[in-house]
Amino acid sequence: MSRVVFVVYDGIQPLDLVGPHEVFGHADVLTGGGHRREVVAPAAGPVRPAGGLCLHAGHSVADLPPDGVDTLVVAGGQGVDRARHDRALIDWIAAAAAGARRVTSVCSGVFLLAAAGLLEGRRVTTHWAREEQLRREHPGVTVDCDPIFIRDGPVWTSAGVTAGMALALALVEDDHGREVAHSVARELVLFLRRPGSQSQFSVPLWQARPATDPIREAVAAVNAAPGARHGIPDLAARAGLSTRHLQRRFTAELGLPPAAYVERVRVEAARRALAEADDPVEAIARRLGFGSAETLRRAFHRHVGVAPSDYRERFRALGEHT
């Protein structure tokens, strides 16, 4: 039974705690246990996140020994700017991290890890809105806000809010294997999102993930730039395989052939683009590798069931009434 300790404080983003906590909980249901989840704060009792939802910390940093922690998960939120000057909290994080197998942060929780002296010389990520602040205040840290999460040795950091659930799934996969992580993702209907100032792409996490490095390389290339050239020869070169070998292994590991996977990722990217910007459908189609608006329309209808223009109208109509 490994101890997963969540660090919270007044002003956290609630989903930074609740999301990863639920991921571990669902994994425990599937595996019959394995994680003992604890919540620690500067003081035990009520914790007031941003937005007013009241949470409860079962332990204070004064009464919970920092030794014996397996995985440390530090939440982010608006209150991080005050919390990082709480000497008792920072000292507890540093002490717990010294013996922990994994030290992680969600969103701006990375600032608490930095205050505890745990990030010097490491590559990390955070919410895109905090990128410049993290670079400015911690020049010895390499900040990369493109990935959903980054693992640098025992330190795992994630991007904003829902990315913490993707991070928790990766931790579950690290503990129990990819089948358990995929089952949890399917149960929670989770999606990966790429944060940052560039167009945001959404890739379904519940799809099978590749089991080998060559196919991971090919998949990563597609997810990183859906609109780039991703023909069979291009992906085979990226994976270091023959075209025939690539197609066979790709289909075996992901459950669908390369061309179908590329199309699905491009459609997901188009959904985000349609929802977030006013670019013409033709421009989105060219940017995302469809070639023409008509090709995008056909692919979009196959996967989503409506035309791109209808999807955009329905999305905005929903937004006006929520």
- Residue with more model confidence, 268 or 293: 293
**For residues 57-85, average pLDDT:** 96
Q: What pLDDT, on a 0 to 100 scale, did the predictor assign at position 199?
A: 28
Q: What pLDDT, on a 0 to 100 scale, did the predictor assign at position 315?
A: 61
Q: How far apart are CA 109 and CA 96, in angstroms?
A: 15
- Residue with more model confidence, 319 or 41: 41
Q: How far apart are CA 155 and CA 58, in angstroms?
A: 25
207 band by pLDDT with thresholds 50, 70 and 90: low
Beta-ladder partners of 37:
4
CATH superfamily of the 199-320 domain: Homeodomain-like (1.10.10.60)
Q: Taking the domain 2-179, which CATH number applies?
A: 3.40.50.880
Q: What pLDDT, on a 0 to 100 scale, did the predictor assign at position 128?
A: 82
Least confident of 65-79, 88-102, 203-217: 203-217
User: In the predicted model, is pLDDT for residue 277 greater than 80?
Assistant: no
Other C-beta atoms within 10 Å of 19: how many?
A: 23
**For residues 287-295, average pLDDT:** 94
Per DSSP, the three-state class of 41 is strand
Parallel/antiparallel/unpaired status of strands 71-74 and 2-7: parallel
Cα separation values, 209 from 159, 190, 191, 244, Å: 20, 14, 13, 20
Q: How far apart are CA 174 and CA 168, in angstroms?
A: 10
Domain positions in the chain:
2-179, 199-320
**For residues 18-28, average pLDDT:** 94
276 band by pLDDT with thresholds 50, 70 and 90: confident
Helix, strand, coil percentages, rounded to 5, for the chain: 50, 15, 35
Q: Whole-number mean pLDDT of the chain?
A: 87
57 band by pLDDT with thresholds 50, 70 and 90: very high
What are the φ/ψ torsions at residue 4 (nearest 5 degrees)? -110, 115
Q: How far apart are CA 99 and CA 219, in angstroms?
A: 35
- Residue with more model confidence, 75 or 224: 75
